[in-house]
Structures are given as structure tokens and as C-alpha cells.
Amino acid sequence: MTTTSAQPESPAAPAGPTSRRKVLQALSGLMVGMFVSILASTVVANALPRIITDLQGSQTVYTWIVTSELLAMTATVPLWGKMADLYSKKLLIQLSLGLFVVGSLIAGLTPNVEILIVSRVVQGIGAGGMTALSMVVMAAMIPPRELGRYAGIFGAVFGVGTVAGPLIGGLLVDTSWLGWRWCFLIGVPFTLVAIVLLQRTLHLPVVRKQVKVDYLGAFLITLGVCTLLVWSSLAGSQFEWVSWWSVGLAGGGVVVLALAVWVESKAAEPIIPLTLFRNRTVALATIASVLVGVAMFGGTVFLSQYFQIALGKSPTVAGLMSLPMVFGLLVSSTVAGQLITKWGRWKGFLVAGGVVMLAGMGLLSTIDGQTSTLLLSVYMAVLGIGVGMLMQNLVLAAQNDVPAHDLGVTTSMLSFFRSMGGAVGVSALGAVLANKITTLMTEKLGPMAGGSGGEGQTVPDISTLPAPVVRVIQDVYATATADLFLIGVPLTALALVAVLFIKEKPLNTLSGEERLARERAAADH
């Protein structure tokens, strides 16, 4: 436990509305930072088959290069969010971006897959900071009634970073004088620009506080989540789902998280205040965020592998094939944000987003090795439209329904559970994919299956294989990928059910700083 005192970033000023010009100036640095942090998660998607081939990795390594970044981001988001309520938000954002730079440089220069995974962890810690802090800063500056407009912009940035990343990665991989290492190095200059922009444009008062940071709770939450993610990643491949290893890892993770809950219930400044879950909106938004994370990340992260192996496309073409999802998410997020600000109502967009996302997952569960590019584009656009209406507005609904002093921890908590859902989805569904590929390869190729993409085997380079074997491999990867989306359908349906039970409340017209000032004034009296 550590006691600290936060100093003001600037001379204290009365709480008042922040001008739109100042908001847009501050958002410029935040948007650049958010873009590069999201890019870190997605730019490697189309490069992974080439990276794995060059560094001689297996299908499990393929999964862990994605999972390690998501895991680090997930585990650290609650701590970043809690610190945002205690320390300088500007300093924390700049620190998270600095960590991202370090991780990117290590990844770009990595000699093997082991160091690459470590670098992804460092990147993930930095990305966790940006994920948690960008929405916290927005809530501090902008009233919920106006937040829809800006949240829509951020949702669009998130969407573009999420799905345009594979396009950038594909172009870099296919450019001979650049190569896959620039998938990591390209974010460095943009990150440095974001740090400078934030230094010049972001000015938020920091109230002096004497606090005790619950490091024990943070450690236990991180350890519990990591244990469960390791189990979900390895089960079904390294050991059976029903085995002593599963009992040990899953049971151990649950016990550690139960201990974390007990510690949090006793802590003066808990990382995740358990009282928040008494709020119906927060509880239901959390459930929906987890399920959306599992379904979206768990399914879409393997689409680029489907494009390149099952359909035989180049990394660049695979990136271009992701554009319909980008545009769907970009348009729906921006339009929904503008309409929420105009009308002051948000639940209809959540419900519509849940329905459309469910439809997209269902459509993608029907793909195979012969699915046309036009149909794929329609299916992915539908999924993107649903995600765009749903994801950011879950955060908006929760922020609108909690006290101002809990804005930081509430925002980070939702990001945490969405990222945890994504990490669980990638690791568990990645294990399902590897196991399915191994089974199908063995059934169809027999002894020839060795080295053709299962657990402990390298991801196949179809350009070096005979045509009959290539056709079998493409069919196997198409079938296995469709199964992942089929698993995502009931998860998305459960997210829709959670959204239906969220009660709509009028959007607040005061910014987070104004609400906090009123709460303190009321407490003093």
C-alpha cells in the first residue's frame, strides 16, 4: 500500500463547461494515441502467417502472439482506470504511450517468437492505459448529453484501427523493402506525435488526494485472469478440457479471483469497487461487454488466416477484404453518436446493434472455401454495423448512471471486461481452431498431416504444397473458421438479452468535472 499526493497540472480553476475548441484540441492527441494502441492489436493480423513462417512458429504461437497483447491490456486496464481517479491523467496517458513505444521497438527487432511475445506484453500494458484513459478523459471534459457525438468519433477511430490494421499490415508485408517488422515499427512515430499533442493540448485539473492504492487486489486480479487465460488457451491442445491440468488451472484461477473479490471488499480504495455491480446498468453493460468481446475478437482475429489460407489471398488482398467491416463500423458508430446527441436517447441503438451483430455472426458461420467475395463483404459489413452501434454506447450508458467520482473506474472496468472477453475468446477459440484443424487434417491427409498446421505444427505455406493437398488444407481452415463464428452466435444472443434489460435513463448535461464539483460541494454541506 502506498500513500501519495497528486499535484495540480495547472492552476486551479472553477469547474465550468469546456469549450468545443478545447475539447477538439485535446481529442486530437487522444485519437492518435487510441489509433496506434488499437493498431498494435490488429496490424499483425495479416502479417501473422508470414511472421510465423519466418520465425518457425506453430498454430499455438500464432494464437499467443495475439493473446499475450490482449492479456496484458486486459490485466492492467483496471489499475490504469483506478490510477486515473488518483493521479494526473495526462501523465498516465503519456506513460502508457511511452510503454507502447518500447514494446513496438522490441517487437520490430525481435530475433524469435519468444521475444516477440514478451514485446507484445509490453505493448499490451501501454495499450491498456490508452484504452482505459481515453474514455475517462472524455467523460471528465464532456457531458453525457454531448458525449454521443464524440464517442461516435472515438468509436470510428476504434473501428478503423481494429479492422484497417490488417490492411496496413498486409501492405507492409507485401512491400519487399519494408516487411513484417514494420508492422510494429510504423506505430512509433505516431505515438511520439500523440505524446507531444497531449502535452500541448490536454489540460485537466488534478485534485490533491491522500490515497492508498490496492496493489494486492491488482496483483490478485491480474494473476487470476492470467491463470484462466492460460488454461483456456492450452486446454484442448496441450491437455484435455476435462483433465487434472484443467482442474488445477481453472480451479486455481477461480480461487485466486475469489480471494481478489474478498480483498477488494475490504480495501479502502479498491481497484474494482464491488458496489458498482449493485448498479443495474453497470452490471448488465459489463455482462454485454464480456460477451461482445468473446464473440467479436474471438471470431474476427482469425479471419485474416481464413482469407490467406482458405481463400489463397495475399496479405494485401486479405487486408482489403476487411474494409467492409471498417466502413460498417465507421458509419454506424459515427451516425449513432450524432443521433444520440441530437435525440438524447440511446437504448434503441444498443438493441439494434445487438440484433445486427447477432445477424452478422450468424451469416459468417456459413462461410466455406467457396464463399464469394461479395457475400463475405456483406456479412462483414453487417457485423461491423452491429459492433459500431453497440460497443461504445455500452460505455456511455454506464458513465451516465454512476457518480462522477467513479467515472474512471467504471470506464476502465467495462474496458477490462470487454478485453478479458476478447482475450478469452482468442485463446479459447484459438485452441478450438488448432484442435479442429489437427483433427480434420488427420482425417483427410493421414500421415501427410504432419507439419500442416495443427497443434505443435507449423502454419502451412500453401505456395509450397501440391495442389491436391492445398485444396484439402483450404477446406479444413474454412470449416474450422466457420465453426468459430457458430460458437459466437449464442454468445452474441446472450449479449442482446443483457442489453434488453438495461433501463434507459436521460443523459446528463454536465461534464464529469462539473458533476464532481457538485458532488464535493454537496458533501461539504
pLDDT below 50 — which residues of the chain? 1-17, 451-456
Backbone angles phi, psi at 295, to 5 degrees: -65, -45
Q: Nearest CA to 59 among 512, 510, 441, 519?
A: 441
pLDDT of residue 211: 57
Q: Is the residue at 208 inside a domain?
A: no
pLDDT of residue 209: 55
Q: Is the residue at 5 inside a domain?
A: no
Q: What is the DSSP letter of 302?
A: T
Do 197 and 233 have their domain in common? no
Do 292 and 357 have their domain in common? yes
Amino acid residing at 348: G
Do 373 and 259 have their domain in common? no
Residue 2 CB neighbour total at 10 angstroms: 7
The total number of structural domains in the chain stands at 2
Q: What is the DSSP letter of 416?
A: H
Do 94 and 111 have their domain in common? yes
pLDDT of residue 215: 77
Do 224 and 343 have their domain in common? no
Q: Is the residue at 429 inside a domain?
A: yes
Q: Is the residue at 10 inside a domain?
A: no
Q: Which of 253, 268, 283 is the last residue of a domain?
A: 268
Q: Is the residue at 130 inside a domain?
A: yes
Do 374 and 401 have their domain in common? yes
Do 242 and 288 have their domain in common? no
pLDDT of residue 236: 66
Q: Is the residue at 157 inside a domain?
A: yes
Q: Is the residue at 8 inside a domain?
A: no
Measured distance CA(114)–CA(103) in Å, rounded: 13
Q: What is the CATH number of the domain that holds 65?
A: 1.20.1250.20
Do 53 and 144 have their domain in common? yes
Do 73 and 221 have their domain in common? no
Residue 234: which domain range?
A: 214-268
Do 170 and 247 have their domain in common? no
Q: Is the residue at 490 inside a domain?
A: yes
Do 384 and 449 have their domain in common? yes
CA 386, chain centre distance (Å): 16
Alpha-carbon dihedral of residues 239, 241, 242, 248, nearest 10 degrees? Answer: 70
Sign of the Cα pseudo-torsion (456, 462, 468, 474, in order): positive
Q: Are the C-beta atoms of 137 and 92 separated by less than 8 Å?
A: no
